[in-house]
Structure 1
């Protein structure tokens, strides 16, 4: 079935992206607008900017919402929407990075085992590429459904999530 996957990440929760599945693109876009409106209402904001960006890869829309509080601290939320074909119960191995920009990628759609193996293989490759000691718990963190590597410049993370048709918004 065709669905829209909304991925979001804010400046406070680099390791905790949010994912949601929508039947229609318009519903995913409405969720973005509501999240931005909520952020505006719940924060003392001195300046804000919403930027719609022509997406790269298989992302069909990208929205960056940046706002500044009265202490001039920058905050952001990045949203990306993907149109995907998926079956009930399938899993996704999602990659995202943070600090030097934020981007999401779908690395694998498949069984839980396939997606966990993809996450482990990709995480090991990143550790190898950046010469990171996998026993260093300050730089390398892997568990059953997510992983995080601190390269020194940014965090590179994977999440394994499951699609349940009954949870479509």
Structure 2
């Protein structure tokens, strides 16, 4: 991939800015430092080290009424996913005594950053997380937990059978750690009630 193509690619732009933030030198001008960041990304692309396959992003939504019914939406870039969170806030931030918190989560490995938005109003809450995944299969196994906090993670990407196998194996190991754990299996989901919270493994069809 040519240097100019790297600069035009939105996904790689995000990577370059992350690289720039982490490695900028106070004795170097802004433009030179940013230019060096783009060139560093180009080298990684050519060597197949960094983003050998472009990352895509999934927005995961969960609210207080549907602990086992997460919703998913897909995007080409982190910025698009972030924008969708603010455009689709479930509660009007100008009404009531609600709270709105959000942050971009940096990573130290070769994945892009992720994003999280939490909104609450009275006794209701809504969580949105935008997570990266490699589009190397038709399905993704996405894990999340609810009640004692909420958190999502893309665990595996591959065929339906591989994702289902991964979900069942992981869920059975978790269930075995809890004396009163309850294991329930569906076609596209495995649920474990630990007695303290829900842990869920969804098998999600990815866009083509």
Question: What TM-score comes out, normalization by structure 1 length?
Answer: 0.80
Establish whether residue 6 from structure 1 lines up as the match of residue 70 from structure 2: no
Distance 1:11 1:56, change over 3 A: farther
In structure 2, the residue matched to 1:78 is 127
Establish whether residue 52 from structure 1 lines up as the match of residue 102 from structure 2: yes
**What is the distance in 2 between the residues matched to 1:154 and 1:142?**
17
Give the number of the structure whose residues are more often strand, by fraction: 1
Taking the TM superposition and a 5 Å limit, the aligned residue runs for 1:7-26 are: 7-26=60-79
Partner SS, residue 40 of structure 1: coil
In structure 1, the residue matched to 2:191 is 148
Contact 2:98 2:119 (8 Å CA) reproduced:
yes
Q: Deviations over 1:108-147 (max 9, x none)?
A: 11111100000110111111111346xxxxx332111101
Say how many residue pairs are matched: 151
Establish whether residue 114 from structure 1 lines up as the match of residue 162 from structure 2: yes
Looking at both structures, which has the greater relative contact order when contacts are Cα pairs under 8 Å and sequence separation is at least 6?
A: 1
Q: Deviations over 1:33-77 (max 9, x none)?
A: 1221x4329xxx521111114537666111111111xxxxx1111
Question: Unmatched 5+ residue regions in structure 2?
Answer: 1-53
Give the number of the structure whose residues are more often helix, by fraction: 2
Larger radius of gyration: 2
In structure 2, the residue matched to 1:104 is 152
**What is the distance in 1 between the residues matched to 2:166 and 2:144?**
14
Partner SS, residue 101 of structure 1: coil
